[in-house]
């Protein structure tokens, strides 16, 4: 547990250092068996204490440490969706938050397959309808999504990204920000997207999800 706490603190500081967690926004969690370490409410991701993290069980019961971030239900939803999930990152990164204010590219992905790395590290990323931050109904909606995904954009809010490791979740969150920036930069001009065959082949090879039918 101690090693995971230090790993979480390092990952959070890395995200903050990239400018992806303005102020006290964003939260990170990591799973250890049937317990979850998560950032406390109002925490600055650049200045976390590995001995001052919140500890929850998978039903959301607070076991130890300070009060958890109000967004913890989103994290638990991903842990319950897929047993292989070991970490979750939620950010208010600028470009991804901006992309969450736009209409989604498709029913299953708010962002199109612009680059191979987006498909390799994230895959399809549905847009969840707006809800107030911390609304448990939004987390329940995430848990009930009928198709596989390891990330979602929260409408008018920002991204939440799961991974099979803390590194995978962190890299995925960074990739969502980069893909969102490209999407906004390109605007409505004609672009070449990865073909359904190209995107599906990458998702299959790297263990993400992409529906070739959009």
Catalytic residues: 71, 117
CB 75, CB 56: distance < 8 Å? no
CA 119 to chain centre: 14
The maximal CA–CA distance of the chain, rounded, in angstroms, is 52
The CA distance from 52 to 135, in Å, is: 24
The CA distance from 54 to 136, in Å, is: 18
> How many CB atoms are closer than 10 A to CB 200?
18
* Strands 127-128 vs 151-154: parallel, antiparallel or unpaired: parallel
The CA distance from 173 to 124, in Å, is: 13
């Amino acid at each position: 547990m101690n090693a995971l706490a230090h790993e979480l603190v390092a990952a959070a500081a890395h995200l903050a250092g990239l400018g992806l967690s303005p102020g006290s926004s964003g939260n990170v969690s990591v799973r250890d068996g049937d317990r979850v370490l998560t950032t406390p409410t109002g925490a600055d991701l650049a200045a976390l204490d590995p001995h001052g993290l919140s500890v929850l069980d998978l039903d959301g019961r607070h076991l130890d440490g300070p009060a958890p971030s109000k967004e913890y239900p989103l994290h638990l939803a991903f842990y319950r969706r897929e047993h292989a999930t070991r970490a979750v990152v939620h950010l208010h990164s600028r470009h991804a938050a901006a992309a969450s204010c736009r209409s989604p590219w498709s029913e299953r992905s708010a962002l199109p397959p612009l680059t191979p790395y987006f498909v390799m590290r994230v895959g399809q990323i549905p847009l969840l309808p707006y809800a107030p931050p911390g609304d448990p109904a939004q987390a329940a909606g995430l848990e009930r999504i009928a198709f596989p995904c390891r990330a979602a954009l929260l409408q008018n809010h920002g991204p939440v990204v799961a991974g099979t490791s803390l590194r995978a979740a962190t890299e995925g969150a960074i990739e969502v920000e980069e893909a969102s920036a490209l999407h906004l930069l390109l605007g409505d001009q004609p672009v070449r997207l990865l073909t359904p065959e190209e995107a599906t082949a990458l998702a299959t090879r790297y263990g993400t999800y992409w529906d070739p039918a959009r």
